[in-house]
Structure 1
Amino acid sequence: MPEPTGVIHDIGYQRYTGPRLGRRHVFGALYLHGLRTIFGLGRSAKAKIFPWLVVGIVTLVAAGVTAVRSQIGQVVMTYAQFADSMSWLVIFFVAVAAPELVSRDLRSGVLPLYFSRPLPRGDYATAKLLALVTGLWLLLGGPQLVMFLGAAFTTDAGLGGVRDELLDLLPALLYAGLWAAVFASVGLLVASLTGKRAFAAGGIVAVFLMTTPIVGTLSIMPSATVNELALLASPSTLVQGVGLFLLGDLLAPAGQAEQLIGGFGPVYVLGAALLVAACVTLLLLRYRKVAAR
């Protein structure tokens, strides 16, 4: 009789008998993990340097504006203008954050593992997008809140002054949300096209910055209509056009908004909505294709 060639060892393996939380909890875990990734939480010290440097810069600018206002007694920069002035910095923040969210997963090949669980293909992209939108909104909205608190505690108009500041803050927070939605949808779509973070970052910066000269060219054309529609040519200026239409004097001196966009305010609103919708649709289609491989 031949001797046995193998031995079965009992290593104490037990089947999982706990609760199976399902799709909603998987989505929430992806969202929270994405939000932590944006700010480098739970990662190495090196990964925290850039995001928190940006957070420090925008907070310092907000504190400086608040301090100057308290000294001279005049508004130096409105809440909405703060979002506009920090938009260039947010571009580079997106260029770093978006590839961290999606390009790493593409490069490491973990997507089949994600999609082997009860996670629809669209949920992965949606959770990452919402995490990026939230992170960008916090990046702009947090300093706006600092400005509000500084103005509220130094106002001489009592509760009426605090109310007026709040009425200025709330639309500015919505405006910051628009910045976040446009930047996140465009940035994440570009980042999803490649697993190389350097290429993704360069592509994101190119989309936002290389379209700006087109706006400058269109704005000096002899046609007044072309001048008023010039801001549509770049995602950044498109958001500013929406802000000029909806917020008016909170962003520009009286009459300047009409001079820049004329009567095309609704066109800018429609353009921003279509841009976000198109980017989200393409993002979902992109992950349907990736998951099928």
Structure 2
Amino acid sequence: MPEPTGVIHDIGYQRYTGPRLGRRHVFGALYLHGLRTVFGLGRSAKAKIFPWLVVGIVTVVAAGLAAVRSQLGEVVMTYAQFADAMSWLVIFFVAVAAPELVSRDLRSGVLPLYFSRPLPRDDYALAKLLSLVSALWLLLGGPQLVMFLAAAFTTSDGLRGTWNELLDLLPGLLYAGLWAVVFAAIGLLVASLTGKRAFAAGGIVAVFLMTTPIVGVLSILPSHAVNELAFLASPSTLVGGVGTWALGDLLVPEGQGGGMPIGSFGPVYAIVAVLLVTACTALLLLRYRKVAAR
């Protein structure tokens, strides 16, 4: 009988004896990684082109508005109106960013590696969602801060003028947060359904843009109530309806029209927005529970 010829070599592997930071730190690391991914940080130059092009556009627009106000003394656009005006850019930003956050992981099959660590499936989805919400809020809120600084330094009323300007800024930042939450919840849910980024991007754009004609059809029907509720049919007009109800003159100053004709249905728009975000988040969590179970 031949003798065994196998040899065991000690190549120096040791057990990890350092600190184990746990679930909270894993969640935070995944959130920061997602936020960096959205803006292409730590990735190739090609990955940085689109997100920073959008950042450049919204910043230039904000700087232009600030320059006009400082030179002519006219408020061309309020902080909340700025978020409305940039919403079309936000749609395409979400269409690129959301697939980068989740579709790449689905396609490359790395989810079992994520879930093999102390990272619950819900935490993965929520960290990605929070990353996208934060990125969109920074995209809309950063330029508003540029507008505020220009207005604060050129005001003729001193500290009182700066304080009043701050009171105008804060609702604008909250409104930007509403845009961010609604768009991120819808966009990430759609992107999580496929590992192909092109399909995910197309689906996101379709959800936002193809619902707009429905609003147009409903708004011309003979029923007055249906006309006022028509804006519920599209995410963009839904957010605009909430803004019209909640912000009033801060969204549309006197002399510039009355905003969206939603009548007395403002609370309905707010409730629908909350339900929409809640439903999208719940479906996103359910999606990843099924993915992880495979």
Same fold (TM over 0.5): yes
Q: What is residue 78 of structure 1 aligned with on the other side? A: 78
Matches within 5 A, 1:270-289: 270-289=271-290
Q: Does residue 38 of structure 1 match 2:38?
A: yes
Alpha-carbon distance in 2 for matches of 1:272, 1:211: 15
Q: What is residue 171 of structure 2 aligned with on the other side? A: 171
Q: Give the Å deviation of 1:3.
A: 4.5
Matches within 5 A, 1:165-244: 165-244=165-244
Query: Which whole-Å deviations, capped at 9, do the CAs of 1:112-139 have from their partners, x for residues lacking one?
Result: 1111111111000000000100000000
Matches within 5 A, 1:148-167: 148-167=148-167
Amino acid at match of 1:200: A
Amino acid at match of 1:162: T
Query: Which whole-Å deviations, capped at 9, do the CAs of 1:14-43 have from their partners, x for residues lacking one?
Result: 110111111111101100000000000010
Query: Which whole-Å deviations, capped at 9, do the CAs of 1:213-241 have from their partners, x for residues lacking one?
Result: 11111111121111111110000100000
Q: What is residue 55 of structure 2 aligned with on the other side? A: 55
Q: What is residue 249 of structure 1 aligned with on the other side? A: 249
> In percent, how many aligned pairs have the same letter?
84
Q: What is residue 7 of structure 1 aligned with on the other side? A: 7
Alpha-carbon distance in 2 for matches of 1:86, 1:151: 20
Contact 1:80 1:251 in 2 (8 A): yes
Alpha-carbon distance in 2 for matches of 1:184, 1:5: 60
Amino acid at match of 1:262: G
Contact 1:248 1:254 in 2 (8 A): no
Alpha-carbon distance in 2 for matches of 1:259, 1:110: 45
Name the stretch that deviates more: 190-199 or 255-264. Answer: 255-264
Q: What is residue 293 of structure 2 aligned with on the other side? A: 292
Q: Does residue 104 of structure 1 match 2:104?
A: yes
Alpha-carbon distance in 2 for matches of 1:162, 1:67: 17
SS of the equivalent of 1:260 reads coil
Structure 1 pair 10–109 and aligned structure 2 pair: CA distance change class (3 A): same
Q: Give the Å deviation of 1:259.
A: 6.4
Q: What is residue 144 of structure 1 aligned with on the other side? A: 144
Q: Give the Å deviation of 1:252.
A: 2.1
Contact 1:245 1:257 in 2 (8 A): no
Name the stretch that deviates more: 262-271 or 217-226. Answer: 217-226
TM-score normalised to structure 2 length: 0.97
Contact 1:111 1:291 in 2 (8 A): yes
Matches within 5 A, 1:126-137: 126-137=126-137
SS of the equivalent of 1:48 reads helix
Contact 2:240 2:260 in 1 (8 A): no
Alpha-carbon distance in 2 for matches of 1:96, 1:154: 37
Contact 1:151 1:165 in 2 (8 A): yes
Amino acid at match of 2:279: A
Amino acid at match of 1:214: I
Contact 1:144 1:169 in 2 (8 A): yes
Query: Which whole-Å deviations, capped at 9, do the CAs of 1:82-133 have from their partners, x for residues lacking one?
Result: 0000000000000000000000000011111111111111000000000100
Alpha-carbon distance in 2 for matches of 1:9, 1:236: 63
Q: Give the Å deviation of 1:147.
A: 0.2
TM-score normalised to structure 1 length: 0.98
Amino acid at match of 1:279: C
SS of the equivalent of 1:261 reads coil
Amino acid at match of 1:149: L
Contact 2:40 2:48 in 1 (8 A): yes
Amino acid at match of 2:181: A
Query: Which whole-Å deviations, capped at 9, do the CAs of 1:192-216 have from their partners, x for residues lacking one?
Result: 0000000000000000011011111
SS of the equivalent of 2:261 reads helix
Structure 2 unaligned regions, length at least 5: none
Alpha-carbon distance in 2 for matches of 1:60, 1:3: 78
Q: What is residue 262 of structure 1 aligned with on the other side? A: 263
Alpha-carbon distance in 2 for matches of 1:18, 1:181: 38
Alpha-carbon distance in 1 for matches of 2:46, 2:6: 48
Alpha-carbon distance in 2 for matches of 1:170, 1:259: 21
Q: Give the Å deviation of 1:258.
A: 7.2
Alpha-carbon distance in 1 for matches of 2:170, 2:242: 16
